[in-house]
Structure 1
Amino acid sequence: MEMMGNMGGIALGVLILLLIASLYSWTIILGKMGTFSKATRESRNFVNAFRRATRLQEVAAFADNYKSSPLAQVYVDVYETYKRQTGGSGPPKNLTPLERSAQTAASEAITALERRLTWLATIAATSPFIGLFGTVMGVVDAFHGLGTAGAATLRAVAPGISEALITTAAGLFVAVPAVVAYNQFAARIRVFAAATDDFCRELLNSLEEIPARSSAPREEPQEVARGFRD
């Protein structure tokens, strides 16, 4: 605490800025951990329910229970497009609008998962430099004080330099968790994107195979969502 009290205004301002950045980054990290955990769990459950269902209307009835799942979001949008085409029964008249609906829904779902990750990347990239700036300014202040006091000894300069180095350590303390979290979240988003693409293809294939005058019988779906593992 004594060292903090002896810090210059710039170094203290840098520490306050890094503290704010750290709090915000941890808010993002903890929020995203909850979001990804819920999305993974609901996507796994939705896929299992989708595989057991025998009618499109049956899937639509429980899809709203999995609002955090990108796969469920894709299904809801595609099914709405399908209903506008066919009234809810029979084969689709044109697959192109369904494909566009699936692509749009998948893109929107993945974009929602990516929200605020740019802030996490920015904090990870800039925090070490902000800390280094505080260190440089602290060293400048220390040497300026030496010139004013006229005592050019290690004992005189060491306290000022040690205080200045705190900002570099603080910058690394903020950046390292942000870097690790960003890389982990980016990897999980790639898994979600691949699983969503697979589900889009399976869903469109199922719609294409609906026979005429049928509400929605489907062939046994192939394995999808391979990214959702325990």
Structure 2
Amino acid sequence: MHDLWELFRLGGFVLPILLLAAVIALAIAGNRLWVLRRARIAPRGLVERVGELVEAGKVQQAVKILYENDTPLARILLTALQQAGQPRDVIKEMVEEAGRQEVAHLDRYLNFLGSIAGVAPLLGLLGTVIGIMHAFAAIGMVGMGDPKALAGGIAEALITTAGGLSVAIPSLLFYRYFRGRVETLVLATEKEALKLINLLGGGKA
């Protein structure tokens, strides 16, 4: 515990900021890992169930299932059902608008995570510069004869550099992963929604 406190102290004011950024990045990653799951976005078999009910004339029952499901795909399909009887292009346009709103929900916090990945190395660099300044200040006061006087500044420079990279690298990896995950889920959702659009639109232009 003493060693951790000493490390924290040597990191200067930049290290607490980096630790806070790390906690926020982990919180965002945990949230997105929970949210961006296939079952929570585009449940398998939902379109088939709804399509069967629509074909059987049980539209109200289909609407009930979609309300109970409460996933992005269900909300998009509900938009499509509300446009039943309209030309296919109209239904598709309304579904695309609903899809854009759902994508904004899936993208939530990702820009902030990307910002952390970009800013963390700069904070580490700031700590490095400040640490070197402290080291040169110590040289100016006691000269080169006392290595202990330089140790604090050098330690601050190294700790903050390592801290900045330690926060930035995982944050960037998570950011890239979640971006790719969102794109995959959006494509899956569009593919599923298109099945219902074709059913509702029929041959109408």
1:77 aligns with 2:79: yes
Pair 51,43 (structure 1): closer, same or farther in 2 beyond 3 Å? farther
Query: Deviations 1:31-85 (Å, cap 9, x if unpaired)?
Result: 1111112xx114453x414314422323222112222x32111101111222xxx
Question: In the alignment, which residue of structure 1 is the partner of 2:202?
Answer: 209
Pair 164,63 (structure 1): closer, same or farther in 2 beyond 3 Å? same
Question: In the alignment, which residue of structure 2 is the partner of 1:51?
Answer: 48
Overall identity of the aligned pairs, in %: 27
Moved more, 195-204 or 97-106: 195-204
Paired with 2:34 and 2:7, the residues of 1 have a C-alpha distance of: 38
Q: What amino acid sits opposite 1:26 in the alignment? A: L
Q: What amino acid sits opposite 2:47 in the alignment? A: F
CA contact (8 A) 1:42 1:66 kept: no
Aligned equivalent of 1:97, options 90, 101, 116: 90
Aligned equivalent of 2:6, options 2, 24, 28: 2
- Shift of the alpha carbon at 1:181? 0.8
CA contact (8 A) 2:42 2:73 kept: no
Question: In the alignment, which residue of structure 2 is the partner of 1:200?
Answer: 193
Pair 61,3 (structure 1): closer, same or farther in 2 beyond 3 Å? closer
Q: Which has the higher helix share?
A: 2
1:106 aligns with 2:106: no
Question: In the alignment, which residue of structure 2 is the partner of 1:220?
Answer: none
CA contact (8 A) 1:135 1:167 kept: yes
TM-score, structure 2 as length reference: 0.85
CA contact (8 A) 1:110 1:192 kept: no
TM-score, structure 1 as length reference: 0.76
Question: In the alignment, which residue of structure 1 is the partner of 2:113?
Answer: 120
- Shift of the alpha carbon at 1:138? 0.7
Pair 142,173 (structure 1): closer, same or farther in 2 beyond 3 Å? same
- Shift of the alpha carbon at 1:159? 4.3
Pair 123,176 (structure 1): closer, same or farther in 2 beyond 3 Å? same
Paired with 2:103 and 2:124, the residues of 1 have a C-alpha distance of: 33
Residues paired across the two proteins, number: 194
Question: In the alignment, which residue of structure 2 is the partner of 1:137?
Answer: 130
Moved more, 154-163 or 21-30: 154-163
Q: Secondary structure at the match of 2:144?
A: coil
RMSD of the alignment, in Å? Answer: 2.2
Consecutive aligned runs of 4 or more in structure 1 exceeding 2 Å deviation: 1-5, 42-45, 93-97, 150-160
Paired with 2:77 and 2:18, the residues of 1 have a C-alpha distance of: 43
In structure 2, runs of 5+ residues without a counterpart are none
In structure 1, runs of 5+ residues without a counterpart are 83-91, 211-230
Question: In the alignment, which residue of structure 2 is the partner of 1:31?
Answer: 31
Question: In the alignment, which residue of structure 1 is the partner of 2:156?
Answer: 163
Paired with 1:32 and 1:120, the residues of 2 have a C-alpha distance of: 11
Q: Which has the higher contact order (CA 8 A, sep 6+)?
A: 2
1:64 aligns with 2:62: no
Q: What amino acid sits opposite 1:74 in the alignment? A: I
Pair 177,203 (structure 1): closer, same or farther in 2 beyond 3 Å? same
